[in-house]
Chain A
Amino acid sequence: MQGIDHDRRPGFSPQPTPPRKGWPRPQQPAHKPKRDPAPSRFAYRLHRMWLTPYFRRLTRIGIPAFLIAFTTLLWLSDEDRRASLSGGLTGMVEAVQNRDQFMVKVMTIDGASAPVDKALRMMLPVDLPASSFDINLDQLRSDILMLDAVRDVELRIKPDGVLAAKVVERQPVLLWRHARGIEQLDETGHRVASVTERSVRPGLPLIAGEGADKVAREAIRIFAASGPLLPRMRGLQRVGERRWDMVLDRGQRIQLPANSPVAALERLIVLDQAEDMLARDISVVDLRDGSRPVARIGLGAQNEIRAARGQPLLGADGRELPKQKDKKS
């Protein structure tokens, strides 16, 4: 009101008066409006969503797991990275395995003969010194047990890098002659080694025939029971994979029964000692019928009898010889 001049006298402008100069008025310090303690609707909904169990589980487990899997797969999708990763892993594993504490340097073998010792050293799958992680003792033991000469072996890795093998070898007690050669057998009939000829092991008793190795124990019992006949014995022959023939020198042959051959043999020995039967010209003693031993007399004795009877003599093949008179005339 006071700034505007209402009576328009000449010489006065109708302009408002300029604002009054003076000290600035003390102003109330502007209070910041207090923050509203209420959560906004968005924050409220977010908080409620966060309290939802499924959402929470998804966020805290699902998304991190997904991210980890995703980046891992992305990283692994490159061939070079995969190769370097696997190379690094195997390098680490080998660095640990090849530590000095795990190395096997020497192999000691106890209780083995020279060829078995050589074979065992050959069978070791790695060249010493090697890491003990590379030697599979179970596998090696089963491999060694496949050798016929070895009955049992005990493998152990001792401290200071020693692979100790304790070998129990099979002891040959029989020679077995069959169609493919001569083999040494132990008391169970298991093959020990081959021999080229009989004279290599003259001290071992000889058996022959197919399937003789399976009844090696019976053969040993027969040899043990043969007592006084032993010096004359050439060997035992398996007949028809069923029974034994005992072959003596001078071509004599004793046919033993399939059941209880030892008893039959003992009976024959008694008979021999009483009658001195085997010293006579008897080619075959047939003991297969236990109640009635049968003896076949030899060719010389037969011819004696035939000559006395005036019959034609028999040849070595069992046929009658032509009359000698015809020959003479």
Chain B
Amino acid sequence: MRDIYQQQRAMRNMRQAALQRGVVAVLDIGSSKVACFVLQFDGPGIYRETDGVGPMAGQSNFRVIGAATTRSRGVRFGEIETMAETERAIRTAVQAAQKLAGVRVDHAIACISGARPASYGLAGEIALKNGSVGQGDIAQVLGSCEVPDFGRGRQVLHAQPVNFMVDGRSGLMDPREHSGQALGCDMHVLTVDGDAIDNLIHVIRRCDMELAGVASGSYMSALSSLVEDEQELGAACIDMGGGATGVSIFVRKHMIFADAVPMGGDLVTQDVAKGLKVPMAVAERLKTLNGGVEATGRDDRDLIELGGETGDWETDRRTVSRADLIGIMRPRVEEILEEVAAILDAAGFDHMPSQQVVLTGGGSQIPGLDGLAARMLGRNVRIGRPLRIHGLPHQLTGPNFASAVGLALFAAHPQDEWWDFEMPAETYPSRSLRRAYRWFRNNW
């Protein structure tokens, strides 16, 4: 547990040091696009309470001064596959955003959507010595959580206490100053492959920037797409990206589960390309412009020109009906949603008080997806768009920028303030030092 403590504190310190500089880049390195926002933090002082602007979920203290997006290269299933290609894509996006912002950015906060995330629920309990919960007790109970074996090469990405218990009173958000005999806590830990994170650090360093924080992509899109009530009452956010589909479950404003399916919109494009025998670029265009998952009678008569640049007139003048395209896309989307449903079942989403499902990400823009998802997942489903943040251009407010917007919110309001508590010094060397100090003070 001690190394988690150190890691989380180190990440928190790094991010705060970056925020001190005032300008931070937010990088969403996805499988289909790389988005870069340059955030400027001007402190909380720009709006007063009398202006009628409240804290606004922490958005009032930053603004986007530069935003750019480019096609992603070298990323597959949400993980970096070709380092040099990814570096070029990041350079393109960062340079365009910097040019728009007019400032140089030295720190980046990135999110990673693949890399086999795994959620763990940890529990810990301590006895309270002086009958009430103090600052040190919280650190101690966080430290007392039993850490399972994560496996080789796994790194902890997020570790958040989601629940505190004092003497059987559960569901406390802030147990400080409570009186009781025992303090327990539940913690949610999300681990990912360490290699993926190392690759991310390396590629960002090759772009002359420093990584000031890493976050999980599914967590980030849930932060921006779920409204506050959904976060409070319980909801699942499904981020349908290009290479991976992230699932995260929120309740009581904390993420309690996150996972990812290594399937996404790229697979759908691939199916279209294979089924219609067209290049990937043409398949992508067909999917975006004419795709869908619910075939109606009119779609049979709706003929789509395939187009293409093969040089063969016969090949290039083919047409398919829209129903054919839907017939290719739908099984793959159903397969992805089945995987998602399996993950939700495994996570025990049935037992949540409210079972809202929010679809976001670029894949959620397929027409008719909400009906299909409602049938597949069997719950109330809505298509979510990310929150509006200050200064973001309109064309970057779609659901495919959910995780980038979530990263911006995360940079402004990270939910990791619990790691500020000092770890109690209970190891042998510090105790003996303290004893020696006491001996000196008593005898000299």
Contact = CB atoms under 8 A, between A and B. Distances in A.
B381 to A, nearest CB: 37
A258 to B, nearest CB: 83
A44 B87 CA distance: 11
A253 B225 CA distance: 124
Given A28-B311, A44-B207, A51 B102 contact: yes
A38 B98 contact: no
Interface stretch (B88-96, B227-235, B364-372, B398-406): B88-96
B264 to A, nearest CB: 23
A18 interface: no
Q: Give the bracket for the number of chain A residues in contact with chain B.
A: 10 to 19
B435 interface: no
A38 B99 contact: no
B146 interface: no
Contacts of B91: 38-39, 41, 44
Task: Identify whether the interface residues of A are mostly helix, strand, loop, or mixed.
Answer: loop
B436 to A, nearest CB: 49
Interface in A229-285: none
Contacts of B99: 47
B208 interface: yes
Contact of B89 (A38, A45, A52): A38
Contacts of B311: 28
The CB with the most chain B CB atoms within 10 A, among A28, A38, A47, is that of A38
Contacts of A45: 208
A114 B388 CA distance: 96
A47 B88 CA distance: 15
Nearest to B102: A51
A59 B88 CA distance: 28
Contacts of A41: 91
Nearest to A29: B311
A138 interface: no
Contacts of A180: none
Interface string B61-99: 000000000100000000000000000110110110011
Interface string B99-143: 100111000000000000000000000000000000000000000
B88 A36 contact: yes
A327 interface: no
A47 B70 contact: no
Interface string A7-51: 000000000000000000000100000001111010011011001
Interface in A74-102: none
Contacts of A48: 98, 104, 208
A36 B94 CA distance: 15
Contacts of A51: 98, 102-104
Given A28-B311, A52-B104, A44 B70 contact: no
B92 A47 contact: no
A51 B89 CA distance: 20
A191 to B, nearest CB: 78
B35 to A, nearest CB: 15
A41 B207 CA distance: 8
A52 B124 CA distance: 49
A269 to B, nearest CB: 94
Contacts of B104: 48, 51-52
A45 B311 CA distance: 41
B25 to A, nearest CB: 12
Nearest to B206: A41
Contacts of A44: 91, 94-95, 207-208
A34 to B, nearest CB: 12
B95 to A, nearest CB: 5
A48 B94 CA distance: 10
A45 B209 CA distance: 11
A44 B92 CA distance: 9
B95 A47 contact: yes
The 4 closest A-B pairs by CB, nearest first: A38-B88, A51-B104, A38-B92, A44-B91
Given A44-B95, A48-B104, A51-B102, 12 more contacts: A28-B311, A37-B92, A39-B91, A39-B92, A44-B91, A44-B94, A47-B95, A47-B98, A48-B98, A51-B98, A51-B103, A51-B104
24 contacts: A28-B311, A36-B88, A37-B70, A37-B92, A38-B88, A38-B89, A38-B91, A38-B92, A39-B91, A39-B95, A41-B91, A44-B91, A44-B94, A44-B95, A44-B207, A44-B208, A45-B208, A47-B98, A47-B99, A48-B98, A48-B104, A48-B208, A51-B102, A51-B104
Interface of A: 28, 36-39, 41, 44-45, 47-48, 51-52
Interface of B: 70, 88-89, 91-92, 94-95, 98-99, 102-104, 207-208, 311
